[in-house]
């Protein structure tokens, strides 16, 4: 697992070679003990739970960084190093 970004107490990460369970590009999100899996680029909740106001922030971040997220997804599938992405400001 690699942490991609952190903002407003939200931790965004991506696992290497992680396409077996969800079969779609996605990120893992942690916020105050809540864990969620969110699809990219759609920003849909695939699994878990996250506060709705934080979900809106995450979805905005996904929209802003869609190209970077998809590039990181391709790298992660190959087991290659992924890159940090700027936080939501």
Tell me whether residue 86 is in a domain. no
Domain that holds residue 68: 2-77
pLDDT of 56 higher than 80: yes
Give domain status of residue 44, yes or no. Answer: yes
Going by pLDDT thresholds of 50, 70 and 90, the confidence category of residue 22 is low
Which of 37, 35, 10, 16 is closest to 26 using CA atoms?
37
Is 85 a domain residue?
no
**Per residue in 39-54, pLDDT tens?**
999 999 999 999 999 9
Report yes or no on 51 lying in a domain: yes
What's the predicted TM-score (pTM) here?
A: 0.91
One-letter-per-residue 3-state SS of 51-66: CHHHHHHHHHHHHHCH
Residue 83 in any domain: the answer is no
Q: In total, how many domains does the chain have?
A: 1
Evaluate whether residue 41 is within a structural domain: yes
CA distance 34 to 47: 11
Determine, yes or no, domain membership for 88: no
- Residue at 63 is within a domain: yes
pLDDT confidence bin for 64, thresholds 50/70/90: very high
Query: pLDDT > 90: what percent of the chain?
Result: 83
């Amino acid at each position: 697992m690699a942490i991609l970004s952190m903002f407003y107490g939200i931790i965004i990460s991506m696992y290497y070679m992680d396409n077996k369970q969800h079969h779609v590009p996605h990120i893992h999100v942690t916020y105050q003990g809540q864990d969620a899996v969110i699809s990219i680029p759609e920003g849909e909740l695939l699994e878990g739970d996250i506060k709705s106001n934080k979900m809106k922030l995450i979805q905005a971040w996904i929209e802003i960084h869609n190209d970077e997220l998809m590039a990181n997804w391709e790298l992660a599938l190959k087991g290659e190093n992924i890159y940090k992405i700027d936080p939501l400001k």
